[in-house]
Amino acid sequence: MSNTSENPKPSSSSAKMTLKTSDNELFEVEEAVAMKFCTVKQYFEDEKDSDVAARGSTTVIPLPNVHSAVLATLISYGKKLPQSNAVADNHEEEETKKKERKKYEQGLLKNLMPGELLDLISAANYLDFKEGLEFFNQALADHIQNKSVEYVRKFFGIKNDYEPHEEEKYREEYAWAFEGVDED
């Protein structure tokens, strides 16, 4: 039967949970990874004493706010993080893993459309996935840091409520901050 039914602590990485997305896709995820989504973890711990826990990994946890494509990326990122129940690595292994993760992160960002970042951040926030939130927040900040004011307005869907002369005043006063900005 389920190997976690007696012991609620995630001790073996082969224990799995099933998450269901807004578009009705099912994702089987290792418990160690799913526990990084604190919302899921809290849900799981809340149900610990109830009948649901006895059924262990057969519970399907619905995530109506998260689309499958987004969840797939978050799970993929979660897998690459150091696992909390893993054996401690020596310094060399740690450095190699760090480099691998950096490479993976760069590849991941390259293939993402900037608009997807907002969805990932929103989902990571809902799931209370701290490492994911930190990573994607930083990725979005890095993406917009050299962009023009017009680009940022368009990206976040912000209406410009300044009068032309007011905006011109800012641009004159802080002309230096407008130098070297990426072309739209």
Partner 1 sequence: MDGYAPEASPPPPPPVASESKDDDDDDGNDDNTSDADDGDADVIDRILLRLPVNALIRFLCVSKEWSALINSSNFIKKHLNHSIETNSDRTLILNETFVNPRLQSRWFSVPYSDNDQFGKAVQIYQPLHNWKILDYCHGLVCLSFYNSYEKKKDIAIWNPLIRKYRKLPSEPIDKPSGSLYSFYSSFGFGYDPSNNDYKVVRITQFYERVFFEVKVYSLKSQCWKKIEKQWPIKGIRSKQSVSLNGAFHWIVVQNDGSESILAFDLANEKFRLYRKSRNEDLLSLEVLGGCLCFMNCDPEFPDYYDFWLMKEYGDESSWTRICKIELDAEPWNFEYFKPLLFSKNGKKILMEGIDLIWYDITTKRGKKVKNRSFPKRFKTATCIGSLLLLDGDNVIDLKQKKNKRKRNEFLTEGLNLLAKFAAKM
Provide the binding-site residues for partner 1, judged by CB under 8 A. Answer: 18, 20, 38-40, 42-43, 47, 52, 55, 58-65, 118, 121-122, 125-126, 128, 133, 137-138, 140-142, 144-146, 149, 152-153, 156, 158-162, 166-167, 170-178, 181
Q: How far is the CB of 13 from partner 1 (least distance, A)?
A: 20
Among residues 47 and 131, whose Cβ is nearest to partner 1? Answer: 47
Q: Which is nearer to partner 1, 102 or 171 (CB)?
A: 171
- Give min distance, CB of 49 to partner 1, in A: 14
Q: Which is nearer to partner 1, 86 or 160 (CB)?
A: 160
In whole angstroms, the minimum distance from the beta carbon of 46 to partner 1 comes to 8
Q: Smaller CB distance to partner 1: residue 86 or 158?
A: 158
Cα–Cα distance between 103 and 128 in angstroms, integer? 25
Kindly state the tokens that stand for 71.
Answer: 């969840």
Minimal distance, residue 104 CB to partner 1, in Å: 21
| β 26-30/60-62 pair status | unpaired
**b or e along 142-181 (b: 16 or more beta carbons within 10 Å of the residue's beta carbon)?**
ebeeebebebeeebeeeeeeeeeeeeeeeeeeeeeeeeee
Q: Which residues contact 89 (CB under 8 A, 6 or more apart)?
A: 97
Q: Pick the closer one to partner 1 by CB: 69 or 181.
A: 181
24 vs 87, beta carbon nearer partner 1: 24
Report how far apart, in Å, the C-alpha atoms of 153 and of each of 50, 88, 150, 158, 161 are.
48, 45, 5, 5, 11
State the alpha helices, DSSP H only, in the chain.
31-34, 38-46, 51-54, 68-80, 91-110, 114-127, 130-144, 149-156, 164-173
- Minimum CB separation of residue 55 from partner 1 in Å reads 5
Return the residue matching tokens 């490492």. Answer: 131
Minimum CB separation from partner 1 for residue 140, in Å? 5
